[in-house]
Structure 1
Amino acid sequence: MKNLKLFSLAALAVVFLTSCSSVRVIADYDKEANFKTYKTYAFYKTGIDKAQISDLDKKRILKAIDAEMSSRGFVKSEQPDVLVSIFTKERERVDVYNNNFGWGWGWGGFYNPWLWGPGWGGGWGGNNVSTRTEGSLYIDLIDTQNRELVWQGRGVGTLNNIKNIEKKEERIREFVSQILQEYPPAITVAAN
């Protein structure tokens, strides 16, 4: 039984650690857009100004987007093909883990209407509750000629209050990189 408890705790730790570090990504796009024609970009200041995060984090996100776009062959331009905008959302996530079980000595025991006192009882117990901030970063690409959204990527993951600036920047780069891995979309052409 001790090994089962240790296994349960180890499995819980692995699940918790992987859920904290991963970024879940969802992307959507306009299937009529010609993504091959997009070669240049600029940031959409009006949209970025509305993002409800600190100016320092905005700078970090934009710097990470610059690096990703450059690595994909995009060039920043005054006359861009696409505008890049961002926005964010966050929410508190509450996780409840029920990871202890077994038999023990305690008050009450099994229900007996004529007897109340010490007894043996068993079952599940030991709930652990944790809260964490889960955030979403949206990256939008807007076609400048049509003024329409053509691609949107969203990354959802845990945002820890990271005091170490290097780790915070690394986490932001991870978010941006994983979101932009979905761009350009893998468009499949249906056979006629």
Structure 2
Amino acid sequence: MSTFRLAARVLGLAALVALLAACATGPRITTEADPEADFSRYRSFAFYSPLAIESRGYSSASSERMKAAARAEMEARGYVFTTEKPDLWLNINAYTQQRTDVTSMPTVDYAYYYSYRARGYYVVPYWRDRTDVHRYTEGTLNVDLIDASRNRLVWEGIAVGRVGRSGDAAERGARIDGAMADIFAQYPYRAGMVPAPR
């Protein structure tokens, strides 16, 4: 196989890997449930006070959007919002941090040299490592459900993903709604539902 064909295959494979990585755009979701919790007895919820996202004592447009998205997800599962003795407290936390990814990949380059014997130029491939540094902002969104009577965490959902730089409020709101929906997609319970045996 010629050196040119080998280099073309390597570059083609690298482009395919980059394309597949770009397709995985959604956040990583992890959840954990308390195995001792009786989810069949939970029917109502309220927001924990103070919410972790409002620890400074005031709300923002983003915190209000997160609360609305979480409330919609809970109500879609049959839970009733009430401030009078709820079964569950719902707490939300969100934060961002700067991250750096460093990747190294072998690449091929070509050098030319002149052969005095053959009286012509020849292409000589050589391999080197290319290092790419990507800086980005990673966001984490936490949703906690707490058994109000026992004051104990019974379910936690976490979404971790890259935060876009869009200044558009509608797009930020849509991302918040999407992340909250992704988290609650992993919540297997409904109000008053007896969970299936494992």
TM-score band by shorter chain is: 0.7 to 0.9
The residue identity in structure 1 corresponding to 2:127 is G
Aligned counterparts, 1:38-53, within 5 A: 38-48=42-52, 49-50=54-55
1:145 to 141, 144, 149: 149
Alignment of 1:110-129 (within 5 A): 122-129=126-133
1:15 aligns with 2:21: yes
Counterpart of 2:107 in structure 1 is: 101
* Cα distance, 1:144 vs structure 2: 1.2
How far residue 14 of structure 1 moved from its aligned partner, in angstroms, is: 2.6
AA at the equivalent of 1:171: R
Unaligned stretches of 5+ residues in structure 2: 1-6, 113-123
Q: C-alpha offsets along residues 53-98 of structure 1, whole Å, 9 cap, x if unaligned?
A: x722111111111111111111111221101001123222212233
Q: 1:68: which partner in 2?
A: 73
The answer to whether the 8 Å contact 2:40/2:195 transfers is no
Aligned to 1:36: 40
Q: In structure 1, list runs of 5 or more residues that go unmatched.
A: 107-119
Separation in 2 of the partners of 1:180 and 1:103? 49
After superposition, give the CA deviation of every residue in 1:112-137 in whole Å (9 maximum; x if it has no partner): xxxxxxxx672233322111111111
Are the counterparts in 2 of residues 140 and 153 from structure 1 also a CA contact under 8 Å? yes
Query: What CA deviation, in whole Å up to 9, does each residue of 1:2-25 have, x standing for no partner?
Result: 35414412421330341xx21111
- Alignment partners' CA distance in 2, 1:187 and 1:96: 44
Deviations 1:135-182 (A, max 9, x none): 111101111111111111111111112212222111111111111122
Instruction: Quote the RMSD (CA, aligned, Å).
Output: 2.6
**Paired residue for 2:160, among 141, 156, 174?**
156
* Pairing 1:173-184 to 2, within 5 Å after superposition: 173-184=177-188
| TM-score of the aligned structures, taking structure 1 as reference length | 0.78
Q: Match for residue 109 of structure 1?
A: none
Say whether the 8 Å CA contact 1:9–1:99 is kept in structure 2: no
The code of the aligned residue for 2:28 comes to: R
Aligned residues of 1:35 and 1:184 also touching (Cα < 8 A): no
Q: Distance in 2 between matches of 1:103 and 1:23?
A: 36
Query: What secondary structure, in the 3-state scheme, does the structure 1 residue paired with 2:83 have?
Result: coil
2:120 aligned partner: none
Q: Which residue of 1 aligns with 2:87?
A: 81
State the TM-score, normalizing by the size of structure 2: 0.76
**Could you tell me whether the CA contact under 8 Å between 2:159 and 2:179 is conserved in 1?**
yes
Q: Which residue of 2 aligns with 1:110?
A: none
Q: 1:50–1:87: 8 Å Cα contact kept in structure 2?
A: no
- CA shift at 1:187, angstroms? 6.1
In the other structure, the counterpart of 1:114 is none
- Note the C-alpha offset of 1:188: 6.6
Aligned residues: 174
* Paired letter, 1:64: A
